[in-house]
Structure formats: C-alpha cells, structure tokens
Amino acid sequence: MKILVTGSAGFVGGYLVEELLNNGHEVVGIDNFSKYGELSKSYDTNSKYRLVKGDVKNTELLKELISDCDQVVAGAAMIGGIPYFHKFAYDLLAENERIIASTFDAAIWAFKNKKLKKINVLSSSMVFENTSVFPTPEGEERKCPPPSSTYGFQKLACEYFAQGAWEQYRLPYTIIRPFNCIGIGERRALSDESVMSGNVKLAMSHVVPDLVQKVLKGQDPLHILGSGNQLRHYTYGGDLARGIRYCIESENAVNEDFNISTAKAHTVLELAQIIWKKIHGNSKPFRYVSDEPFPYDVQKRSPDVSKAKRLLNFEAKVTLEEALDEIIPWIKKQIELGKV
C-alpha cells in the first residue's frame, strides 16, 4: 500500500515509517519539525519514502499528498509529557483540533474522489484518564467521566471525528490507542522548558528518559514524581509500530478501536529500581525521594490488550528490560552530545 503518515518525523512516527517500509509499503511523510527541529533518519534515502516539510493544517497540501494514497495515519499532534499538558493547556486543544480537522477534511475528500480506503487515528491512553475499570477495555472511554486534561479531551474528540466521518461520509477508520511508548529517538523538544528535579535539569518530560538521565548523572537519592506507585505499561516503540501496521493491514481492524500496549505493568518505583540496577549494578544501594507530582499524573493506567490479540493477533514482545538495554546507551550518548 501507499500510506500517508502525518507527523512522520516524530518519536512514534520514526518507528512507524521504518516498520512500514520494512514490510513493503510505500510511505509519504509530512512534518513541520516543530517538536524537535529537523532530524535525519536512517530511511531518508529509501526510494519508497518521500518526506515533505509542511504543515498538516494546510489542507490543500494534504489533499495533494493523499491523492494517490490507500490509507492515512493521523499521527501529527502537539504532544509531550505531563508538564507539557500544563504549559500548553489551550494550544493542545486548539492546535490539535485544527490538525485533526484538516486531516479528516483531506481524507474525506480523497475517499470520495480518489482511492483512499481508510483513516487510522492515533488516539491516546489519556482518553481513559478518569476510568476506575482495570484492566481498561475498549469502549470504556464512552462510559467513564471525560478526561480532565485538555490533551486527553482532545484525543477523545479525535475518536468522535472518526465516528462523524463514518456516519456522514462512510469513511472507514481504525482508532489506535498507544500506551506509554518508550524507545530511542526522543530528544529535548524545542518548546520544552528546563525544570529542576533535585540537582539535575530536565527538559524531556517523559518518565523513562528523565529517570535514565538522572541516574546517569549520578543523582543520589533519585528524585521521582509522587509516591512512585503510579502504574504504567511501558511499550517499546518497535512493538507499537508493529501494532499500528497490523491495524493498517488487517480487515479485522476496520471500524474498530484497539489498545496497543504491552500486557506487563510496572510502577514508577519498579521502573526506577530497574534503571538504577542496570546503570549502577550492586555498587550503590537504591535510594529515592518523592517530589510533588503534577495534577494530571494519573495513578493507574492499565489496558486490556485481549482485543488486539483476538482480532489482530498482536502481542508486544519486547520487555522493559530489553528496551532499557537499548535506551540507556542511547541517552548516555545524547548527554555526551548535549542533545538532552
């Protein structure tokens, strides 16, 4: 297939483009490089990949790019960690609505006039921000209270865009909810403000790279946000990309929604201890202190992944420990280069 990926130069986009190219698809990517600035990727010279520097809100440009595509992945968005949700509370809502509306406008046009078959919407586990049902199944986002954060609320709105485009224009869709993507390629965002966490200045706002950076820089005791009992499913980017590809390729995914995640849960404290042990071994006893958490630091995020296994035969394979074996050396190198 030929697939348009919006936000193709982003953290998840990098894994996804590589996964699609490695499995025989042709990819057109669009990105304005607003998150990290211009970056080079290993597949930039691949003959089946075309990257266009542009704004997804430019609907006419998007129509031009989507005109000979079979499917589109709506991945472009303003996105960041918890501090980001506070700093850009309004922009996350307004800008991401403009981005998703433009994407759907182009997709509906291509579905009616060209050969587009489906839109794949990258939603978020944040749609389940206020659930009390664990593990959380697909469908719970319509039963639990709406998200408290503007980011979570806007991601839920993206899912309603899919509903509306299907009801009015019969545009088929798949809704994809990633859970806590981890991997290499995440850098300091251009818009991130540096914040102090103990004696270490951070500007990445995601828990895994932040903890790795603090331990590598010798912080002792280690500063963690909140009690450390927050529960997450840390999903390797390569697994997530494979899950998205299955959603694109499978007939079973049409007009369905999927939690794409590892089945294994870890608390932040468990994560911190694993990182500490991988870096220090037994040379230093693990010690930590708790810092004041952010308001939108959801205490428990744990998906039901059985639907993806049943309909897509998808299971995440890479363990947290295996992912960290790749992530830790990469972040160490980025620190040396002054990139984080």
For tokens 């859970």, what's the residue? 179
Residue pair 125/79 in contact (Cβ under 8 Å)? The answer is no
Are 47 and 112 within one domain? yes
List, for residues 203-254, the tens digit of each pLDDT value.
445 889 999 999 999 999 999 989 999 999 999 999 999 999 999 999 999 9
Decide if 123 is inside a domain. Answer: yes
Question: What tens digit of pLDDT does each residue of 258-308 get?
Answer: 999 999 999 999 999 999 999 999 999 999 999 988 776 789 999 999 999
Same domain, 110 and 199: no
| Domain ranges, residue 166 | 2-181+236-260
Mean pLDDT of the chain: 92
- The model's pLDDT over 21-68, given as tens digits with 9 standing for 90+, comes to 999 999 999 999 886 677 788 898 999 999 999 999 999 999 999 999
Query: Which segments of the chain are extended strands (E)?
Result: 2-6, 26-31, 49-53, 71-74, 118-122, 173-178, 181-182, 195-197, 200-202, 222-225, 231-232, 235-236, 256-260, 266-267, 288-291
In a domain, 98, yes or no: yes
Specify whether 31 is located in the same domain as 82: yes
Same structural domain for residues 135 and 279?
no
Tokens 């046009």 locate to 109
Identify whether 117 is part of a domain. yes
| Model pLDDT for residues 88-138, shown as the tens digit of each residue | 899 999 999 999 999 999 999 999 999 999 999 999 999 999 999 999 999
pLDDT score, position 282: 95
In a domain, 312, yes or no: no
Q: Based on the fold, state whether residues 203 and 227 are members of the same structural domain.
A: yes
Question: What is the predicted pLDDT for the residue at 340?
Answer: 74
Rounded CA-CA distance 77/233 in Å is: 22
Q: Indicate whether 187 belongs to any domain.
A: no
Inter-helix orientation angle 268-280/320-337, to 10°:
60
Q: What is the dihedral of CA 77, 297, 139, 237, to 10 degrees?
A: 50
Residue 151 vs residues 91, 144, 296, 335: alpha-carbon distances, Å: 9, 16, 10, 29
Residue 226 structure tokens = 């909140």
Here the tokens at position 118 are: 């489906």
The CATH number of whichever domain residue 114 belongs to comes to 3.40.50.720
Same domain, 35 and 75: yes
Whether residue 211 sits in one domain with residue 128: no
CA dist 71 and 85 (Å) reads 30
CATH for 284:
3.90.25.10
The CA distance from 281 to 336, in Å, is: 21
Are both 97 and 203 inside the same structural domain?
no
Residue owning tokens 């994560």: 271
In this structure, the answer to whether residues 23 and 77 fall within a common structural domain is: yes
Q: In this predicted structure, what is the pLDDT of residue 199? A: 54
Residue with the bigger pLDDT between 242 and 339: it is 242
Q: Which residues is 266 bridged to in the sheet?
A: 232
Q: Looking at residue 338, what is its pLDDT?
A: 83
Same structural domain for residues 148 and 224?
A: no
Indicate the range of 11-20, 163-172, 182-191, 310-319 predicted with least confidence: 182-191
Can you name the residues that pair with 267 across neighbouring β-strands? 231
Shared-domain flag, residues 215 and 103: no
CA distance 11 to 213: 18
The verdict on residue 189 lying in a domain is no
293 occurs within a structural domain: yes
Could you tell me if 232 and 266 are in contact, meaning their C-beta atoms sit under 8 angstroms apart? Answer: yes
CA distance 336 to 185: 15
The alpha carbon torsion through 33, 34, 38, 44 (nearest 10 deg) reads -20
Indicate the Cα dihedral angle 307, 311, 312, 313, nearest 10°.
80
The angle at the Cα of 92, spanning 6 to 163, to the nearest 5 degrees, equals: 60
What tens digit of pLDDT does each residue of 150-209 get? 999 999 999 999 999 999 999 999 999 999 999 997 544 444 455 555 555 554 458 899
Q: Are residues 145 and 227 in the same domain?
A: no
The number of domains in the chain is: 2
pLDDT at 79: 80
Q: Which of 200, 175, 272 is nearest to 232 (CA)?
A: 272
Return d(Cα 204, Cα 201) in angstroms, integer. 10
Residue 311 lies in a domain: no
Q: Nearest-CA neighbor of 15 among 327, 256, 332?
A: 327
